[in-house]
Amino acid sequence: MTFFDKAGGALKDALAQAEADALPAVVTAILAKAGLGGLQGIAEKLRKDRFDEQVKSWLSNGSNRPITADQLRTALSNEQVQQIARQLGLPVDAALKLLAQKLPTAVDQVSSNGKLNV
């Protein structure tokens, strides 16, 4: 392995870490613009809309239970879904799929002792 291979790998790792670190802020901004109140707002909404077990897993130290795009669609209003899609510049289905993939990690990253630290 050459110096440039090692340097490229280190740069790739650093960029991946920067992306991971920025995830909660990006998701919060998108949710806030959709009228959901950021991570805190969507976590509360999901807890009230029968997805309490998923949210609890994101806040805990264990593994994160998944949430599906369809589950998000049922918990959010059509207007909120449309706004999220506009913010992401994606079709609705793709936006919900992306949010379903990223939301558990984003909440997990900004929580400790069962509470969001935002």
Answer positive or negative: Cα dihedral of 97, 116, 27, 23.
negative
**Residue the block writes with tokens 């239970």:** 65
**What is the token pair recorded at 65?**
């239970």
Query: Residue 4's pLDDT band (boundaries 50, 70, 90)?
Result: very low
Q: What is the pLDDT of residue 13?
A: 53
Q: Give the best-scoring range by mean pLDDT among 34-38, 72-76, 111-115.
A: 72-76
Q: Which two tokens stand for residue 90?
A: 């994606």
Question: What range does the domain containing 92 cover?
Answer: 3-116
Contact at 8 Å (CB) between 78 and 1?
A: no
Distance separating alpha carbons of residues 57 and 21, to the nearest angstrom: 20
* Phi-psi sector, 50: left (phi>0), alpha (psi -120 to 50), beta: left
For residue 111, list its beta bridge partners: 116
Do 90 and 98 contact (CB within 8 A), yes or no?
yes
Per-position DSSP letters for 74-110, written without gaps between them: HHS-HHHHHHHHHHHTS-HHHHHHHHHHHHHHHHHHT
Token reading at 84: 């999220």
Count how many domains the chain has.
1
- What is the CB neighbour count within 10 angstroms for residue 27? 23
Q: What is the overall mean pLDDT for the chain? A: 84
- For the entire predicted model, the pTM comes to 0.80
CATH number, domain containing residue 46: 1.10.10.690
